[in-house]
Structure 1
């Protein structure tokens, strides 16, 4: 018997950028991210780089006619709903891309790539000087602070500097500018992204992750936004989702190569794929006799929206136990599940809990006490006799019950 095919209809997104042989940035990062965000990714390669996490060891810029041929091939056959540009390399390539996007009526995200994460120059001075011709067609520019400083010839040290630079870039033709905060500002050590549109300035503020493994972060956020625009999101929604995607990609990077590593482009997709299983496990744990409450986090959980809780195992319903679990994951992201027990004597004999010195302590304090007590399966006892138990797996929790 011949099986019937079941085609999947995803909107098409296009990236026009250089390749990264290390897979962390460039078209490799773009296509992975687009697919992870619900779009079919197509690509036009502008330059081939010999690149890894330690640097760019060689660059070959394709002739502009080869870039145009790729663009023609993609747009002739695919219904491209949104596009982005990355590394363009030479003035001739930029001109070819400008010619191609002049008649494109979908959203265009321009990531003005000038320098790689490791510091290697990816575009000559003539490209930076001529970007205005492309900006005029852009729905959104996504420079980081260094790129914005180069393009505006100003120093960007504070949040006000970032807003001023974004406004200056927008005045050069783009509909909007998202200035991404890869480095700390002198007046704010958090991760701050600034979105400037025609009528508003919006800032997105998140906690900074202590890691050097950020290679590919700029490509990831611009591609995520492009994919969401292809799916029909409005600009602010697409930007907010893109920021969430790259934040998770940076928090849970790939442990490959040298210090700059690679962000995890598929972290959100893989996280979402575990939600049903996590919910099922939480419902099973909540049904155990001594259990008053249960919670379970996805592998790459970032907020209570990623933690299932209660008898129904619903995401977003984990409450205080979910807060304790998330706080524990800040110390060690291996922690995935947590239980509240009606009584501490329901613990196994070898699971000695640490006594808390007061009731209703902040979740962070409870988590720190528990994690410090036992890295393999932490337990604490409240003054009222109840106990909280944390572990990397549901099986480990069950093993610690009497």
Structure 2
């Protein structure tokens, strides 16, 4: 089987729990080749984000073109974008490609830090329209207008239930013209959840890059995230990182 080439367009997490660092580990552990276009540098750890430096949009695109034009790409994962200019520039680029795209609409970090302003969130519309799948969590889905609004617009999305209340976590897949598909599992009680959204999105992208059907890619990603939660090493005083390196599916 060929190695899927997966490009992550996202921010860097200095503590390694989320963002580009989590994406690289996830893609690698699932058998893919990880490439990156860094949209922002962050100073953060399990307790929160203390500083952010956003990259110029043209430099982000230069990184993506360097990867695509030489190595090639089989799937793209989008995470933290940092600015509306970057969001529009990435949309311009991806509207001219035909590879699967998984968009994680990062707005707020696990610690509560705001990672996308109103203009950037407004620019998400173009990326959701292009994406094979958008993966909002409970709060992000509400900020995007709610499930019914996305369904009405024909957006394919996975509504993740990890941040919703309750002992059972439900992830719901909505696609235009198809009935919803639901997955349920008991909640894993842990504070070490830093990077779950990044991990889920990059795992789905890797599956799609391998040629898996969307539902199969989601099932693989869910299994990986749950295993990584259970294998969390316990680092940090706050929301610690997952145990990507310990997962054996």
**What is the root-mean-square deviation of aligned Cα atoms in Å?**
1.4
Give the corresponding residue for 2:9. Answer: 16
Partner of 1:264: 243
Query: Does the 8 A contact of 1:132 with 1:172 survive in 2?
Result: no
**1:137-181 Cα shifts (integer Å, max 9, x gaps):** 0100001001111111xxxxxxxxxxxx3342244353x210111
Instruction: Kindly indicate whether residue 93 of structure 2 is the aligned counterpart of residue 114 of structure 1.
Output: no
User: Contact 2:154 / 2:175 at 8 angstroms: preserved in 1?
Assistant: no
Tell me if the contact between 2:138 and 2:164 (Cα under 8 Å) persists in the aligned partners.
no
Query: Which stretch of structure 1 is more off in the superposition, 229-238 or 126-135?
Result: 126-135
User: Does residue 238 in structure 1 map to residue 217 in structure 2?
Assistant: yes
Q: Which residue in the other structure is 1:215 paired with? A: 194
- Select which of 136, 139, 159 maps to 1:179: 159
2:175 corresponds to: 197
| Structure 2 residues without counterparts, runs of 5 or longer | none
Cα distance, 1:9 vs structure 2:
4.4
Aligned residues: 248
The CA deviation string for residues 198-247 of structure 1, in whole angstroms up to 9 with x for no partner, is 20201110110111110000000001000010000000000111111101
The question of 1:104 aligning with 2:84 is answered no
Q: Is the 8 A contact 1:38 1:228 kept in 2?
A: no
In structure 2, the partner of 1:123 is 116
The CA deviation at 1:266 is: 2.8
User: What TM-score, normalized to structure 1?
Assistant: 0.60
Any idea what SS the aligned residue of 1:83 has? strand
Task: Evaluate the alpha carbon distance shift between residue 170 and residue 83 of structure 1 in structure 2; reply closer, same or farther with a 3 A threshold.
Answer: farther
Of 17, 20, 33, which residue of structure 2 is paired with 1:27? 20
8 Å contact 2:157–2:174 — kept in the other structure? yes
Superposed CA offset, 1:71-127 (max 9, x none): 110110122111010000111110110111011101100000001000001111111
For residues 141-152 of structure 1, the aligned pairs below 5 Å read 141-152=134-145
